[in-house]
Structure 1
Amino acid sequence: MGTVVQLVSAMPTSLRWVGRALVLFAECLGSSCHYRVGRADDTIRPNQTLLDTGQTLVSIGETFELGFFSPLNSNNRYVGIWFKNVANRTVVWVANRDRPLTDSSGVFKITETGNIVILNNKTENPLWASNSSAKDPTLQLLSTGNLVVEDGSSKNHAWQSFDHPCETLIAGMKLGWDFITGQSWKLTSWSSTQDPSTGIFTYELDSSGLPQALLRRGPEIVYRNAPWDGVRIGDDLSFQEFNLVNKPNYVVNETHVYYTFDNIDNSNVTMFRLNPLGSLNLVRWNRGDDKWTTIYSVQRDDCDTFARCGPSGLCDNNHNPVCYCPTGFVPKALEDWAALDFSGGCVHRVHLNCSASEGFKKFSRLKLPYSSEFVVNRTVVRKEDCELICRRNCSCVAYAVARVGGCVVWSGNLVDIKRYTDSGQDLYIRMAASELESEEDSKTIAVIISAISGFLLFCLVGVYLTYKRTSCSLISQEETIFNSNKDRSLILLEEDIELPSFGLDAIANATNNFSSANKIGEGGFGTVYKGMLWSIGQEIAVKRLAKDSGQGPMEFKTEVILISKLQHRNLVRLLGCCIYKDERMLIYEFMPNRSLDLYIFNQIRRTALDWHKRSNIIAGIARGLLYLHRDSRLRVIHRDLKASNILLDSEMNPKISDFGLARIFRGDQTKVNTKRVVGTYGYMSPEYVIDGHFSVKSDVFSFGVIVLEIVSGMKNRGFAHPDHDLNLLGHAWKLWNESRAMEIIDVLMENVHASEALRCIQVGLLCVQKHPDERPLMSSALVMLDSENAVLPQPKQPGFYTERAFMETDSSPSSIKPIASTGMTITTLHGR
């Protein structure tokens, strides 16, 4: 080759271009000609390179694209895969996440031996390599988003990106283990939204035998999915066999345990993403709005915090407080439980001694516990055989026959037990003989009481019917107010409402025949289901009135009347209703981010709400309330405004919901009395709880509580502080008077504007003042929130600032009991 070069140099200038061509030809003869990828292709071969000059690989169908990129606000360069036709680049995999380039000198290629490398073109130093090997290799980006090295001789995949997930799980990827090869598939978060390097959160399937997933912060478990039961994972909608957005598949056998899913169709693109704050979300591409929409988050409530109630403690979101000890157990440290610290958990009331008389008590609808000491026997599937295994082992404290997994026996502490409403599995816990005997005695007593109660009920019904025939003139004061104009209430319901009516079959089909898998919660008067109403092409929430509900027809009528007449961007939208025989249902727009309380009271999820989002939520609630109080066709008092009744759409815009307890006011009414006080502890105003008086100022009080909860990230009811007995309202007022109000601001909230936050705290305190006349109207509260330079009045003492001193125990509905000798009326609260 050197001789050829010398000959070219000796040529006349006019002929040297011919010489250069000869040199190039000679080089090609001596080695393979390397050339750059210059067009959209899905394949690279060893004689090709991909440079950081805008060159990319594009999969067949143009769904995915591979190339160099920089995250937002970063100059570092990475090789990644992203959705090609999504406006905002959504990266799903990064090769050199921990070894970025600092400029555009990068080269991406596959070697002759099948090793993928990223080089610095200036130094030729490899920054990243796949460490794969193959004969006659080809590197291809498949239409699934999987980057594969194909061995030319065997036609097998010698390496694939799906075996090395980052923070995203797309259709076809796996989450789990291959026990033969030791391969694990897990998600690992980015360090931040601007830094794809390995973060502190991981999400992986447990390799110990039970098909359950663990979310970790470093080595610490912060969340655990319930074990797969063959149909679903606990009440996690996104992992159900029959959900509305994808087709999941769980494989559990001796060689593999993994979860994967497929999209229902190509137009319905979904993926799981583990964000840098540790929140795992199922998101779907919304083509109409050209954005990703979060449709499900796996951590949704207080009981999703790992080991929330300590060893042997049960967590139930429908219980207050959420933690309690199961039958046969007592708190380990009673003083801690009194201070709402449940981390110590529960212990057996009667200690076990491994005697032959010990037995097992069944607990149903549970998320099976986590323990570092448990054994899974897949060959044992009968309850009797599983119990015998546990009984023979004195260290065994519980057993279960898992629907997927076989016999599971636990030793040591049982932690992270959650009770579901209508799903979950059975757990059998070892008990002392005396505990089992007391249970049998209780059953006998219960049978006797039931028989006596039935007889008395029969007698009372007879007396009632006799009374009913002789007098129908007594109507409660509340019903009199609501139906003071009979035509008004009935015409609104039967003639005046322009509301679509859906057939029962359509709603049943939309909700998979009201499947428990579609259930998303308990509403004010029944069950709420998620569904897809194909006739209108929209996801819906169906509120189904329970036939035995104590809040039946009147609340249903109220909600239909109100919401059909009310239209505002900060009120939940009613799409229609379904009335068939005894069935009464309301069909609402579906809110993908569920309710406000699931965010602001959750240690992980509330970090997703920075100050901008929280202030927007506060302003939105205020605008919705102002519309109800002043600007709507009907003047409405909500009466049950609370964090769980504020729903959040895909963009975190607030929507006031649940109008079952609302009241319509006439134009000249300012205040109404009631003997039936209904609402939620911690949000009800003093005059309403004590005297039964409610007005627009009652809603203002509830709004003030929500404002302080949003700013602080803490609940008013159940708030505890080591230095005093004040609730959240009293604590905020105390800090305000001591010029320390900034201390109440949520430490997990980002981008806080101090002046705006302080103004919100001041407005919140003004709204919760003890006397209703001192509280502002919602019109004034909204002006205060929006006015940066306005001088606001100083707040006075709040109502119920030591709420725990006032009726903090659970209560049940009760009738009014007037005491004739004093003229006093005792009103019992109806807790919700």
Structure 2
Amino acid sequence: MGFFLGEMRYTCKTFGTHPVSMERVFYTLFLFICVAFPSLIPSAAAKDLLTMGETLGIDEVLVSPNGTFTMGFFTPGKNTSSRARNRYLGLWYSSIPDTILWVANREQPLVDSGAFLTLTENGNLALVDGNKRSVWSTSVTSASNDTVAVLMETGNLVLKQGANTSLWESFDYQTDTLLQGMKVKYNPTTFESNKLVAWRSADDPSPGDVFFQIKYYCMFLFNKTDIIWRSNSWDGKNVTYSKKSSVVDRDIEIWVHFLTNTTDTLLMHVLASGSLPAKISVNPAGTLEIMAVQKSKEIWEPYQTAPTTFCEKYGRCGPWATCNDYQARPTSCECLYGFIPKKKVEWDNGIFTAGCERRTQLQRNNAGNFKLIDDIKVPDKFSVGEGNTEAECRLKCLSSSNCTAYLFRNHSSPLTPPCLIWYGDLLDVRTLYDGEGRNLYIRLAASEIGENGKSNEALRPSLISASSVLIIAALILIIM
């Protein structure tokens, strides 16, 4: 590993006694940097690939062709416990080495300085400790002797066979971060995607309790089994979102495209103006963060976070109540039309967990009528109903005495059906605006609607912050 200064080339080795004291001072300082921060020292022979039999040692790195990304070994945080000896293979933006974007062996740390990464004879990448024991491998079965491992300019580590065949990609095995071009795979049969799992802590990259997942056409943030945040339901629309950010001093465009030629992949594009990258990460503290590189400071700056407001947190007002961050009243919670607080004293004291209950119960021998509630976030725990028109969707709900609400949306994709039905309480209802809300019809006793069901005046709660809009646009992902 070398470093050029003018025409003098210094290397990380001992030169002995120097007659010029200033040179000796400079060399001593440079030697300290070589030893303490080896990955920060540029190399005249920085490489972006490993061929079969080659190794990458603890103090060596791979650098993408234009130098945007670096991959090497790191020790996380500033912990002085036994974990401080743990080493991991990770990826970082070259000028911001403190923020790790991907970790290979997050569950199997290396604890000795003799560890290395190698491309084995069977064509797999393997992390090997000082005792020659493999702690992590790509486990590809179809590799051959012309396989190479390449760090691409996108940050994707790829096992390639020949010029055009990719056998394995790190982008398919995300940890806690989504970079441009990464995919989240969604299974339309189980209605679930793979997970992005936060670090255990800032000093421990092992999988923690907080994770992101797509379930039933919504994005969720969980802490173990508890829901922290849920997005609005995706209706299949392609989205392009562009906004000037004073925080990162440039425009950021979020592109979300539905790939009709695939069946289980949601593809996210996060495109920042210029060549500097953006990312989306799951934080151990329980937040989902969009971040971009601040070009004048070379640091990751937060662009948007969820949840941030009272109403963005899951189910804050309990069942049968809507949450509104911007309504001018002491509380953000309000019972839906036809409902009253279930525990009035608690409700009046700002404790909304119990939510609301019907003022007039539905009679099983009475079909009841529907009340339009517009501009709201799609409630949680819906079922897919049979119906390609609003009339068919309505009839589907009326056919069951247990149906409590229905929603029909004209724009949908093959994997986001138009008719949604609820058979229980409505949870996580929130006021939306700027076209992000949906029209929901809730089932009420005829006496709540008016004589003969003639009154159908919509309840119109008002505004919400734009953060959920941006998070959805940034994270929605396209079904393969």
Task: Give the letter aligned to residue 302 of structure 1.
Answer: F
- Displacement of 1:519: 7.7
- Displacement of 1:51: 1.2
Aligned position for 1:241: 241
Residue 410 (str. 1) matches residue 422 (str. 2): yes
- Displacement of 1:230: 5.0
Residue 419 (str. 1) matches residue 424 (str. 2): no
Aligned position for 2:229: 223
Aligned position for 1:595: none
CA gap of 1:110–1:183, structure 2 versus 1, over 3 A, is farther
Contact 1:189/1:275 (8 A) holds in 2: yes
Aligned position for 1:673: none
Contact 2:371/2:456 (8 A) holds in 1: no
Task: Give the letter aligned to residue 112 of structure 2.
Answer: D
CA gap of 1:173–1:93, structure 2 versus 1, over 3 A, is same
- Displacement of 1:229: 3.9
Residue 384 (str. 1) matches residue 396 (str. 2): no
- Displacement of 1:152: 4.1
Equivalent of 2:207 in 185, 198, 220: 198
Aligned position for 1:44: 50
CA gap of 1:100–1:443, structure 2 versus 1, over 3 A, is closer
Aligned position for 2:441: 428
Task: Give the letter aligned to residue 50 of structure 1.
Answer: L
Residue 71 (str. 1) matches residue 76 (str. 2): yes
Matches within 5 A, 1:632-711: none
Matches of 1:39 and 1:311, distance apart in 2: 62
Matches within 5 A, 1:20-419: 39-52=45-58, 54-73=59-78, 74-84=84-94, 86-120=95-129, 122-136=130-144, 137-152=147-162, 155-179=164-188, 184-206=193-215, 208=216, 210=217, 212-229=218-235, 241-243=241-243, 244-251=251-258, 255-319=263-327, 320=329, 321-371=331-381, 374-376=382-384, 380-402=387-409, 403-404=411-412, 405=416, 406-419=418-431
CA gap of 1:105–1:443, structure 2 versus 1, over 3 A, is closer
Contact 1:44/1:138 (8 A) holds in 2: yes
Matches of 1:182 and 1:436, distance apart in 2: 36
CA gap of 1:291–1:43, structure 2 versus 1, over 3 A, is same
Matches of 1:66 and 1:247, distance apart in 2: 26
Matches of 2:464 and 2:367, distance apart in 1: 43
Aligned position for 2:30: none
Contact 1:93/1:165 (8 A) holds in 2: yes
SS at match of 1:90: strand
Matches of 2:268 and 2:44, distance apart in 1: 35
Contact 2:252/2:273 (8 A) holds in 1: no
Q: Which has the larger radius of gyration?
A: 1
The CA deviation string for residues 294-325 of structure 1, in whole angstroms up to 9 with x for no partner, is 11112121011111111111111123311111
The CA deviation string for residues 234-254 of structure 1, in whole angstroms up to 9 with x for no partner, is xxxxx8634441232143778
- Displacement of 1:266: 4.1
Quick one: percent identity of the two aligned structures?
30
Contact 2:324/2:463 (8 A) holds in 1: no
Aligned position for 1:811: none
Task: Give the letter aligned to residue 48 of structure 1.
Answer: E
Contact 2:158/2:166 (8 A) holds in 1: yes
- Highest relative contact order (Cα 8 Å, sep 6+), 1 or 2? 2
CA gap of 1:79–1:282, structure 2 versus 1, over 3 A, is same
Matches of 2:108 and 2:347, distance apart in 1: 48
- Displacement of 1:262: 3.4
Aligned position for 1:682: none
CA gap of 1:181–1:310, structure 2 versus 1, over 3 A, is closer
SS at match of 1:365: strand
Matches within 5 A, 1:505-544: 520=466
The CA deviation string for residues 94-143 of structure 1, in whole angstroms up to 9 with x for no partner, is 001111112321111222333321111x3111111222222323222111
Aligned position for 1:34: none
Matches of 2:86 and 2:110, distance apart in 1: 6
Query: How many residues of Structure 1 are paired with residues of Structure 2 in the alignment?
Result: 399
CA gap of 1:517–1:413, structure 2 versus 1, over 3 A, is closer
CA gap of 1:290–1:432, structure 2 versus 1, over 3 A, is same
Task: Give the letter aligned to residue 383 of structure 2.
Answer: V
Contact 1:381/1:407 (8 A) holds in 2: yes
TM-score normalised by L of structure 2? 0.76
Contact 1:180/1:255 (8 A) holds in 2: no
- Displacement of 1:386: 1.3
Task: Give the letter aligned to residue 51 of structure 2.
Answer: R
Contact 2:192/2:214 (8 A) holds in 1: no
Matches of 1:346 and 1:197, distance apart in 2: 41
The CA deviation string for residues 347-372 of structure 1, in whole angstroms up to 9 with x for no partner, is 2211123445412111111110111x
Contact 2:229/2:312 (8 A) holds in 1: yes
